[in-house]
């Protein structure tokens, strides 16, 4: 039985250096969507405060914007700024 592509990825995960910026953007967008669906339930069950949920979403939104800027620079052929 041949595994489908999703199963193959689970068996042989890529090295961190092999993950492209657009893939990181897609994953962050997926994660934000999930958090926006899950956090209201967690807030209702008092497992997380609304302030904490908002803070975590804001952090992920900020990371997503960083990667989108990086992706735009890469598309323009510019070198990314790498902190020392």
In which residue are the tokens 């790498």 written? Answer: 82
Domain membership of residue 55 (yes or no) is: yes
CB 44 within 8 A of CB 53: no
Residues of the chain with pLDDT under 50: 1
At 43 the pLDDT is: 98
Domain membership of residue 6 (yes or no) is: no
Domain membership of residue 4 (yes or no) is: no
At 37 the pLDDT is: 98
Exposure of 72 in the CB half-sphere (CA atoms within 13 A): 6
Domain membership of residue 61 (yes or no) is: yes
CB 82 within 8 A of CB 66: no
In which residue are the tokens 């958090």 written? Answer: 35
């Amino acid at each position: 039985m041949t595994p489908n592509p999703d199963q193959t990825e689970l068996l042989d995960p890529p090295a961190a250096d092999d993950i492209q910026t657009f893939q990181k953007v897609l994953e962050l967008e997926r994660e934000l969507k999930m958090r926006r669906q899950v956090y209201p339930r967690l807030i209702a069950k008092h497992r997380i405060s609304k302030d904490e949920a908002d803070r975590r979403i804001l952090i992920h939104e900020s990371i997503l914007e960083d990667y989108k800027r990086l992706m735009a620079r890469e598309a323009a052929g510019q070198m990314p700024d790498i902190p020392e």
